[in-house]
A and B are shown apart, each in its own frame.
Chain A
């Protein structure tokens, strides 16, 4: 497929940005400066300063000597990159594939996009005027290769569009610098008298490679479209995404709901066709005032069930502040998984752990209260009561061992155990009475002791001797004594649970 690229070059990116926020500087020549090898060097020039002859990489002292009224501002090395990235994000409205070149360019893959604006001419004008309105000067070139578009943007006339397959004619008369070469290589070429691209093209490639290395030949081939050049998109293109532009800005909850339903309809149809389901989806709402609001939903199982996903989104609609209205909705399936094909039942099942309705219910819980804990317990092979259960990782995980019922276990377990005062007659006999919450419980019946040792490979500490006791009113408790009896100190007793 024929590729088309647009390259945007901002000759005064930083200074345009600064004048936009400080309009009083419009009539003053100013530069940004950064320390470099112990002296201050100019890093960005305003249009007025450029007219007066200041160029980047000039020493600030020289520039000041030439123009006494020159304003010098401190530059921040990361500022340019941040600014370029935000410009790149803004350009996403023209194409989903935007790449940032740190040296000050934006590369747009406009394949199949320009006709939406009525051709490349109108497309280029639209971007140019929009940027102009925002206060940025831009040079734009459109060509079939990144190299050619770059050359046009930097060295050609503004607004040039190179039709397909004529890169060679246009480029041949351009200066050699338009090939995106490193500065020392450029110096060498200039010294040897290569001024235009055509002078390099006349020399056989093998000779070029031997004399100047791989880079020169590669750049020439890339510019002419003989070698493919890849760009890294600013935002990875998400394969499952749907877009819904609105004629009128939407401000009501019902309107948002309808938009989500439409988007889900499109997305789920596609997912179902491919036998997939989504696990995580994100809705971006582009507002009229340029802000973007996001909501995200997740499911515990791959799902392409429109009604269920709509329910999940509905819970979060109140968190979207529509401001003056939302003009574009974008729904992206961030995480997509193979859906487990469920056999269609002739009659609705009685309901078990594999039931979809159950999984959907739990998703709704999670959507409503993100801090809610949904747990399922499985038996674990440990005697220590707190370790005898483990959390299941999924709804359908099967238990690996059986639930034990040979020992009494309380229905309610206190975590941590509650210290109590106990009167016990002789060692290893169950206590006669204990005091808990200010009440004295006289013990009538008791079972035990059941000694449970700690798992030494997990933790250190004393064992527990458990007693299952019943008081005079029929209330049943689980008590334990920590460690052995010792003559010099009283034993530590704890209440660990309540029996049914």
Chain B
């Protein structure tokens, strides 16, 4: 009995070490609970990885809006107190007042509009190196492995979290991002038989999680909080053609 306990302790210890080498930081759960509940179990150590890169795949404008809303919810936890966020894009369509309903002060986000993809990537890297900000969000269509590795190196030195928004991306290869998300709108949540549009609901799919378990969840935003519920993997795949196996 004692031997098996010792063994499992050893394995846990080794797993921790591997995670550290892979760029994950030891984070106390009580400090950085993101409020995603059940969804956080998909990540290594059951903690939402802060201080790393996340990428969001988006296929249409509707999905882009849904992702923005979901990110708004994440920001409300990441940008607590006086934190500042940076939103770099080439089109800048986010309507600032809307994210107030997700608990973020829009005036604490600085919007940067740059024309070239190269400049946006550069700005993202510079932003990730900067200690003065909490979150950098960048709209980049395509990012390859080498580029994402540069970003990963920048992020390892600071505590900044990076979100890469990839609208209609053509390249779906591997990147160094800690998680790859795909968010689709679901019919809104309405209590009882009330008329009208209710609070937003999304189908959140984690396509890839480094050292975690990819799966699908139904996430809603109700009363300034996330509510996540695991979806049973149905037989109907969402993106049969584009999604790679493995």
Chain A: residues with CB nearer than 8 A to chain B?
Answer: 348, 350-353, 355-358, 361-362, 364-365, 368-369, 371-379, 385, 388-389, 392, 395, 399, 403-405, 408-415, 444-447, 468-470, 473-476, 497-500
- Residues of B within 8 Å of A405, CB to CB, are 100-101
Q: How distant is the Cα of A469 from the Cα of B185 in the complex, in angstroms?
A: 13
Q: How distant is the Cα of A348 from the Cα of B123 in the complex, in angstroms?
A: 23
Cβ-defined contact, A369 with B115, below 8 A? yes
Q: How distant is the Cα of A389 from the Cα of B200 in the complex, in angstroms?
A: 23
> Interface on chain A toward B: helix, strand, loop, or mixed SS?
mixed
Within 8 A of A (CB), among B90-111: 92-102, 105-111
Q: Which of B64, B92, B127 contacts A361 (CB 8 A)?
A: B127
Chain B: residues with CB nearer than 8 A to chain A?
Answer: 61-62, 64-66, 68-70, 72, 81-84, 86, 92-102, 105-116, 119, 122-123, 126-127, 130-134, 184-188, 190, 195-198, 200-202, 221
- Residues of A within 8 Å of B72, CB to CB, are 411, 500
5 residue pairs, one from A and one from B, having the closest CB atoms = A500-B69, A357-B132, A498-B65, A355-B132, A352-B82
Cβ-defined contact, B81 with A412, below 8 A? no
Q: How distant is the Cα of A350 from the Cα of B100 in the complex, in angstroms?
A: 22
Q: How distant is the Cα of A389 from the Cα of B221 in the complex, in angstroms?
A: 24
Cβ-defined contact, A470 with B111, below 8 A? no
How far apart are B118's CB and chain A's nearest CB, in angstroms? Answer: 10
How far apart are B101's CB and chain A's nearest CB, in angstroms? Answer: 5
- Residues of B within 8 Å of A445, CB to CB, are 187-188, 190, 195-198
A-B contacts, CB under 8 A, total: 187
Q: Which of B81, B101, B201 contacts A474 (CB 8 A)?
A: B201
Cβ-defined contact, A351 with B119, below 8 A? no
CB-based nearest B residue for A351? B132
- Residues of B within 8 Å of A351, CB to CB, are 82-84, 131-134
Given contacts A373-B112, A445-B196, contact A403 B84 (CB under 8 A): no
CB-defined A-B contacts under 8 Å, sample of 15 = A351-B84, A361-B132, A368-B122, A369-B116, A375-B92, A404-B97, A404-B100, A405-B100, A413-B95, A414-B93, A445-B188, A474-B185, A498-B62, A500-B65, A500-B98
Q: Which of B93, B108, B123, B200 contacts A499 (CB 8 A)?
A: B200
Q: How distant is the Cα of A263 from the Cα of B70 in the complex, in angstroms?
A: 49
CB-based nearest B residue for A413? B95
CB-based nearest A residue for B80? A350
Cβ-defined contact, B83 with A369, below 8 A? no
Given contacts A350-B134, A476-B200, A497-B65, 4 further A-B contacts (CB under 8 A): A353-B108, A473-B185, A474-B184, A500-B200
- Residues of A within 8 Å of B105, CB to CB, are 403
Given contacts A358-B133, A369-B119, A374-B110, contact A411 B94 (CB under 8 A): yes
- Residues of B within 8 Å of A388, CB to CB, are 97
Given contacts A361-B130, A364-B126, A404-B97, contact A412 B187 (CB under 8 A): no
Cβ-defined contact, A468 with B93, below 8 A? no
- Residues of A within 8 Å of B126, CB to CB, are 361, 364-365
- Residues of B within 8 Å of A364, CB to CB, are 126
> Interface on chain B toward A: helix, strand, loop, or mixed SS?
mixed
How far apart are A89's CB and chain B's nearest CB, in angstroms? Answer: 37
How far apart are B151's CB and chain A's nearest CB, in angstroms? Answer: 15
Q: How distant is the Cα of A369 from the Cα of B120 in the complex, in angstroms?
A: 10
- Residues of A within 8 Å of B127, CB to CB, are 361
Cβ-defined contact, B65 with A412, below 8 A? yes
How far apart are B102's CB and chain A's nearest CB, in angstroms? Answer: 8
Q: How distant is the Cα of A195 from the Cα of B217 in the complex, in angstroms?
A: 107
- Residues of A within 8 Å of B111, CB to CB, are 373-377
Cβ-defined contact, A500 with B68, below 8 A? yes
Cβ-defined contact, A447 with B84, below 8 A? no
Q: Which of A350, A361, A468 contacts B197 (CB 8 A)?
A: A468
Given contacts A445-B190, A470-B197, contact A368 B107 (CB under 8 A): no
Q: How distant is the Cα of A378 from the Cα of B96 in the complex, in angstroms?
A: 9
Q: Which of A392, A473, A498 contacts B107 (CB 8 A)?
A: A392
Given contacts A362-B110, A375-B110, A411-B65, contact A474 B134 (CB under 8 A): no
- Residues of A within 8 Å of B98, CB to CB, are 409-411, 499-500
Q: How distant is the Cα of A356 from the Cα of B131 in the complex, in angstroms?
A: 10
Q: How distant is the Cα of A468 from the Cα of B188 in the complex, in angstroms?
A: 12
Given contacts A350-B82, A353-B84, A413-B93, contact A446 B69 (CB under 8 A): no
Given contacts A361-B127, A475-B62, contact A411 B95 (CB under 8 A): yes
Q: How distant is the Cα of A288 from the Cα of B62 in the complex, in angstroms?
A: 60
How far apart are B76's CB and chain A's nearest CB, in angstroms? Answer: 13
Cβ-defined contact, B132 with A356, below 8 A? yes
Given contacts A350-B83, A353-B84, A498-B61, contact A377 B133 (CB under 8 A): no
- Residues of B within 8 Å of A500, CB to CB, are 65-66, 68-70, 72, 98, 102, 185, 200, 202, 221
Q: Which of B100, B131, B185 contacts A475 (CB 8 A)?
A: B185
How far apart are B75's CB and chain A's nearest CB, in angstroms? Answer: 12
CB-based nearest A residue for B96? A377
- Residues of A within 8 Å of B101, CB to CB, are 405, 408-409
- Residues of A within 8 Å of B114, CB to CB, are 365, 369, 372
Given contacts A351-B83, A358-B132, A500-B65, contact A447 B196 (CB under 8 A): yes
Interface core residue of A364, A392, A395 (most chain B CB under 10 Å): A364
Q: How distant is the Cα of A352 from the Cα of B81 in the complex, in angstroms?
A: 9
Given contacts A364-B126, A446-B197, A468-B197, contact A412 B61 (CB under 8 A): yes
Q: How distant is the Cα of A499 from the Cα of B72 in the complex, in angstroms?
A: 12
Interface core residue of A350, A361, A409 (most chain B CB under 10 Å): A361
How far apart are B31's CB and chain A's nearest CB, in angstroms? Answer: 12
How far apart are B78's CB and chain A's nearest CB, in angstroms? Answer: 12
Given contacts A356-B132, A470-B187, contact A377 B119 (CB under 8 A): no
Cβ-defined contact, A498 with B97, below 8 A? no
Q: How distant is the Cα of A355 from the Cα of B105 in the complex, in angstroms?
A: 17
CB-based nearest B residue for A444? B187
Given contacts A364-B126, A476-B188, contact A350 B81 (CB under 8 A): yes
Interface core residue of B62, B97, B126 (most chain A CB under 10 Å): B97
- Residues of A within 8 Å of B84, CB to CB, are 351-353, 355, 358
- Residues of B within 8 Å of A498, CB to CB, are 61-62, 64-65
How far apart are B87's CB and chain A's nearest CB, in angstroms? Answer: 10
Q: How distant is the Cα of A371 from the Cα of B199 in the complex, in angstroms?
A: 39
Q: How distant is the Cα of A392 from the Cα of B110 in the complex, in angstroms?
A: 10
- Residues of B within 8 Å of A476, CB to CB, are 62, 65, 185, 188, 197, 200
